[in-house]
């Protein structure tokens, strides 16, 4: 596809199945269902966005969580650019098990061609599960300049 003929980057991806974190290291959210992405910047195998041009990008989304138990302290949802955390959403998990929607931290990033964006999640003192509900768990990245 000729990406030069396409408009600015406009990517929206979902989970094709539920995703659970395990252990003490943050895990990349395996977004693998591309709903929007004419410029082919989403890498479905490595679950990351790879910018094909310099510009300012608006990054947002949600993670729909089910804790399933009450011992988890909090949830972290991080935006990484080139392996570094550039935005973090941290929220205590309510004392009762259940499900909640947590946002992917909204951020504007100046990206260069080849920069990589990914979302990583971690539940402190617990292993949360994220639902693949397309209305509640998604990542949206748009270039605006």
Which CATH number, 4.10.110.10, 2.60.120.40, 3.40.50.11540, 3.40.640.10, labels domain 3-143?
Answer: 2.60.120.40
**How high is the mean pLDDT of the chain?**
83
Distance CA 74, CA 122 (A): 9
Q: How confident is the model over 67-116, as pLDDT tens digits?
A: 555 555 678 889 999 999 999 988 776 655 566 667 788 999 999 999 99
pLDDT over 50 (residue 1):
no
pLDDT of 82: 98
Q: Report the predicted TM-score, pTM, of the whole model to 2 decimal places.
A: 0.86
- Residue the block writes with tokens 């395990």: 22
Q: In the chain, what percentage of residues exceed pLDDT 90?
A: 44
């Amino acid at each position: 596809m000729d990406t030069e003929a396409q408009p600015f980057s406009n990517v929206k991806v979902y989970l094709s199945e539920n995703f659970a974190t395990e252990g003490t290291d943050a895990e990349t959210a395996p977004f693998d269902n591309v709903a929007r992405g004419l410029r082919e910047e989403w890498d479905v195998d490595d679950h990351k966005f790879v910018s094909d041009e310099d510009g300012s990008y608006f990054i947002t989304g949600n993670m729909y969580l089910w804790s399933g138990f009450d011992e988890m302290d909090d949830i972290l949802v991080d935006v990484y650019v080139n392996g570094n955390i550039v935005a973090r959403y941290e929220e205590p998990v309510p004392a009762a098990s259940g499900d909640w929607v947590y946002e992917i931290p909204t951020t504007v990033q100046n990206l260069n061609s080849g920069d990589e964006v990914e979302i990583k999640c971690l539940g402190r003192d617990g292993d949360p599960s994220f639902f693949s509900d397309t209305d509640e768990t998604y990542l949206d990245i748009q270039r605006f300049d």
